[in-house]
């Protein structure tokens, strides 16, 4: 090959290598992730992860979770985040994200929690489901999901956006911080009914339910409807199972899955009592949290 062509080929190869390297360059370094984990533990704001691609966000989440696991132990489930179009818009994305839930994150109904439970603490109306069967990994419809779970659980999630400037977070940044998983309060479980007719009725109720957040005096703080989450809340499980499989993670019986926001993300205040109500969902009891 003539020298000029050889130089051109080498230059092209160098550009390709540089482009490939830069595509992964924004994954936070081990030192940066260690600093983020230290801020998480101290409940102080960490530096914003900026300029991340989706792959960079996933890479950073994996590093962050490896450090969280050393402190928090067992993974008890997973959360789907940004499943509500209104919340997606807030974070300038058009797709959900996921994070891990650890032992001790899920508190009992009526729990009292410091209003400063995180660096950037928030609360929202959410819902958990509990996995009954590994068939959930192949679920493609809400009915497939319902047949693979045994409980639907009212849930107030207490996420922590944990960075210095939460409004600057995008979808990849939310992924990087493990979707802000910190705490949540679980209510009384609702058993999935046995007969197919009852299951169809539950599917309709989950889609059509009106979810509200109220304070101790009954004042409406926020809310939404079941279909605000991916048109049916159990679609969040379909998405989550597929997303986890892409990372070689398989859901197993007993895993708890958080479905996403039925309300705006709101800041807690000392003395505030919050109750989530699920109107139209048979058997659903309110779930409550008090902020100290």
Q: What is the reported pLDDT for 86? A: 84
- Report the pLDDT value the prediction gives residue 54, as an integer from 0 to 100: 93
Confidence of residue 82 (pLDDT cuts 50, 70, 90): very high
pLDDT of 129-158, one tens digit each? 999 999 999 999 999 999 999 999 999 999
> Which residues does 225 contact at the CB level (< 8 Å), separation at least 6?
208, 209, 210, 211, 262
pLDDT in tens, 190-199: 999 999 999 9
State residue 88's pLDDT score.
86
Number of H helices, E strands in the chain: 8, 13
CA distance 106 to 108: 7
Q: Given this model, what pLDDT does residue 6 score?
A: 36
pLDDT of 92 reads: 83
Query: What's the confidence (pLDDT) of residue 21?
Result: 35
Tens digits of residue pLDDT in 10-21? 333 333 333 333
Q: CATH: 3.90.850.10, 3.50.50.60, 3.40.640.10, 3.90.1150.10. Which one for 28-291?
A: 3.90.850.10
Q: pTM for this structure? A: 0.90
């Amino acid at each position: 090959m003539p020298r000029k062509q050889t130089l051109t080929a080498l230059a092209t190869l160098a550009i390709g290598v540089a482009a490939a390297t830069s595509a992964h360059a924004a994954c936070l370094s081990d030192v940066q992730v260690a600093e983020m984990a230290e801020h998480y533990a101290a409940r102080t704001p960490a530096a914003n992860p900026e300029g991340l691609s989706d792959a960079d966000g996933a890479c950073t989440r994996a590093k962050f979770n490896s450090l969280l696991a050393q402190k928090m132990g067992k993974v008890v489930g997973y959360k789907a985040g940004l499943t509500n179009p209104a919340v997606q818009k807030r974070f300038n994305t058009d797709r959900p994200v996921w994070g891990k839930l650890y032992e001790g994150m899920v508190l009992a109904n009526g729990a009292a929690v410091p209003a400063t439970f995180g660096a950037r603490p928030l609360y929202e109306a959410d819902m958990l489901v509990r996995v009954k069967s590994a068939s959930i990994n192949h679920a493609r419809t809400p009915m497939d999901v319902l047949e693979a779970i045994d409980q639907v659980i009212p849930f107030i999630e207490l996420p922590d956006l944990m960075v210095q400037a939460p409004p600057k977070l995008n979808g990849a940044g939310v992924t990087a911080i493990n979707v802000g998983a910190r705490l949540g309060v679980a209510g009384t479980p609702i058993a999935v009914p046995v007969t197919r007719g009852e299951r169809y009725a539950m599917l309709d109720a989950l889609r059509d339910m009106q979810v509200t957040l109220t304070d101790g005096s009954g004042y409406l703080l926020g809310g939404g409807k079941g279909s605000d989450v991916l048109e049916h809340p159990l679609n969040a499980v379909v998405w989550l199972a597929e997303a986890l499989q892409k990372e070689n993670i398989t859901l197993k019986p007993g895993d708890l899955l958080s479905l996403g926001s039925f309300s705006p993300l709101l800041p807690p205040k000392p003395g505030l009592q919050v109750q989530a109500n699920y109107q139209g969902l048979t058997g659903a009891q309110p779930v409550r949290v008090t902020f100290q």
